[in-house]
Structure 1
């Protein structure tokens, strides 16, 4: 399992999401949707520029996705990740 986080540097809502994930001690792969690699990955997963987006992936399969700062959904993603 892998947690992907999509963000923009100027995104103020991205800060609490990053802080939450960091506090949980989980490994996260972060993508800046404003650079070419991040934009390409965001397009592959059909993410627009509405960030932050956090996705739990199992290989190529999306398990759960959350948009903006939603602590309950972030907790669910972290719990599923830790249980794997």
Structure 2
């Protein structure tokens, strides 16, 4: 399983999610995409996972199928998401 993060540079909730993941949940993101980057890979990922706002944390399987998603800074939702990871 992988953790994917979608964020923006000027997004305060994005920074809060980053701190919560590293300081509280002790997890590291496997892939990170700034939604304002215009490179092909970022644009494809944003479209594939229908990212409409940030922050978004995705938990995906090895075939990039979505297992779970958290949108915004919601600590209890993030804790629940990572309980699925095992």
**TM class by smaller structure:** 0.7 to 0.9
Aligned length: 81
Q: Structure 1: give runs of 5+ residues left out of the alignment.
A: none
Which blocks of at least 5 consecutive residues in structure 2 are unaligned? Answer: none
Corresponding position of 1:38:
42
> Normalized against structure 2, the TM-score is what?
0.84
Q: What root-mean-square deviation, in Å, do the aligned CA atoms of Structure 1 and Structure 2 show? A: 1.2
Task: Tell me by how many angstroms 1:68 deviates.
Answer: 0.4
Correspondence for 1:25:
26
CA–CA distance in structure 2, aligned partners of residues 40 and 61 of structure 1 = 14
Higher relative strand content = 1
Structure 2 SS opposite 1:46 = coil
Q: Once superposed, which parts of structure 1, at least 4 consecutive aligned residues long, lie more than 6 Å away?
A: none
Q: Distance in 2 between matches of 1:39 and 1:14?
A: 19
1:1-84 correspondence to structure 2 within 5 Å: 1-23=1-23, 24-28=25-29, 29-35=31-37, 36=39, 37-48=41-52, 50-59=53-62, 60-81=64-85, 83=86
